[in-house]
Amino acid sequence: MKFNIKKEILLQNLNSVSKALSSKNLIPILSGIKFDLTNSGLLLSASDNDISIQSFIPCDKLENIDEIGSTVIQGKYILEIIRKLEGKIITFELLDGIKVLISCGNSEFNLNCMDAKEFPNLNIEEKKEPIILKKEEFKNLINKTSFAVSTQETRPVLTGINFKIVDNKLECVATDSYRLAKKHINLNHEVNEDINIVIPGKNLIELTKIIEDNENNIEMHVFSNKVLFKFDNILFQSRVLSGSFPDVNRLIPSSFELIIKVQASEFYNVIDRAALLTSEKDKNIVKFECNDNELIVSSNSPEIGKVEEKMLIEKNNDKNIKIAFSSKFMMDALRTVQSKNVILNFNNDVQPIIILDEEDSTLLQLILPIKTY
């Protein structure tokens, strides 16, 4: 194997595949990135058994190909080396199948490498009729729901985002059983079969990091135990979680006793300041009280002190409410709101609080209140 490539092209593609590297992997070969050079181009592959990523650099983006071949190079070393090399063109040469010579400008690295035959077959498959998604819409779906996934492995299915497709509607839901985030989009085409899968949230967050903003679409290929996302020159495959995702729609009230409209950024800042005197061990609790057209947010810590914040609001009736909730959860939900105002929906101090973006009817957030007495 011998070829020359521009540093910026190689680094961009290595950054993408390196998202599948894990420092905790017990299988040595999976700590490496596979370089597979053919006359049509260079294929980079990495996997941690949870996600697998391939990135293809076509031959017209390589400076030249002198000799084809394959090898596996330690991921963390190759990434740092390429990042810190000074010069525009990098030369790779495989020596005796066990070492790779990397040279650029005045620098030369001689790295031990691993046998490409030991690298696992990633079993990347495609379907004839994939689901087509716009990049911006897909990233929005993940960014506005992924924060609500559970970090506890006691209920593995809650560490993922539930993707449901019926006809041409794709709905994503995440919940850790204390809060919930739900958003949907309409696809430009109908899907022949209903889809209901749960994809690990952390995998989807890694995926959004390598999706570049351009006009190209993403193809989503769904299988019973895995899902493949195909875009630009990247193939990103993730396992899907087993188990049934809870039916969250029954948790969402259909009517409300009190609806309050607040200015989103001002309300966020009020919660943020009130949260300064809360502690994580006490679930970052703030108290929320409304009287007439005024809202009072307060927190009280015997060890630290107390704070009280006021702001003007609009209500749909003259009812009042006293309720307590996690300031962290409320701020996470408010970060996803893009319009000027946010709508807060209440029934009483024990039923869920529903948070809606005034101008985005596809987004819904739910937070469970916390009993403080």
Tell me the pLDDT tens digit for each residue of 87-111.
999 999 999 889 999 999 999 999 9
Amino acid found at 111: L
User: What's at 337, amino acid-wise?
Assistant: V
Given a contact cutoff of 8 angstroms between Cβ atoms, the answer to whether 225 and 198 are in contact is no
C-beta of residue 365 within 8 angstroms of C-beta of residue 355: yes
Number of residues in the chain: 373
pLDDT in tens, 249-300: 898 999 999 999 999 999 999 999 999 988 877 789 999 999 888 999 999 8
Better pLDDT: 362 or 302: 362
pLDDT of 23 > 90? The answer is: no
State whether residue 59 is helix, strand or coil: helix
Pair 315, 260: CB distance under 8 Å: yes
Phi, psi of 358 (to 5 degrees): -55, -35
What does the CA dihedral 53, 90, 40, 21 come to, rounded to 10 degrees? Answer: -10
pLDDT at site 373:
62
167 pLDDT tier (thresholds 50, 70, 90)? confident
Joined together, the tokens standing for residue 45 give 């592959």
**What is the tens place of the pLDDT at every residue in 176-195?**
999 999 999 999 888 888 99
Please state whether beta strands 69-74 and 32-38 pair in parallel, antiparallel, or not at all (unpaired): antiparallel
Q: Are 187 and 165 in contact (CB under 8 A)?
A: yes
Percentage, residues of the chain above pLDDT 70:
100
Q: In this structure, are residues 288 and 297 in contact, taking their beta carbons and an 8 Å threshold?
A: yes
Residue 65 scores a pLDDT above 90: yes
**Tokens 């080396």, residue?**
81
Helix axes of 75-84 and 7-17: crossing angle, nearest 10 degrees:
150
Summarize the confidence of residues 69-83 as an average pLDDT.
Answer: 95
CA–CA gap between residue 320 and residue 257 (Å, rounded): 10
Do 137 and 185 contact (CB within 8 A), yes or no?
yes
Which helix (H) or strand (E) is 15 found in, with range? helix 7-17
**Does the pLDDT of residue 119 top 90, yes or no?**
yes
* Order of strands across the sheet that contains 179-186: 195-200, 160-166, 169-175, 179-186, 360-367, 353-357, 341-346, 258-263, 314-315
Paired tokens of 234:
């990247």
| Alpha-carbon Rg for the chain in angstroms | 25
Q: Which residues are bridge partners to 103 per DSSP?
A: 91, 108
Evaluate whether 58 touches 43 at the Cβ level (below 8 Å): no
Between the CA of residue 288 and those of 176, 283, 298, what are the distances in Å? Answer: 22, 15, 7
Closest to 275 measured CA to CA, from 336, 343, 331:
331
Name the average pLDDT for the chain: 94
Distances, alpha carbon 189 to alpha carbons 95, 130, 186, in Å: 51, 11, 8
Q: What single-letter amino acid sits at 169?
A: K
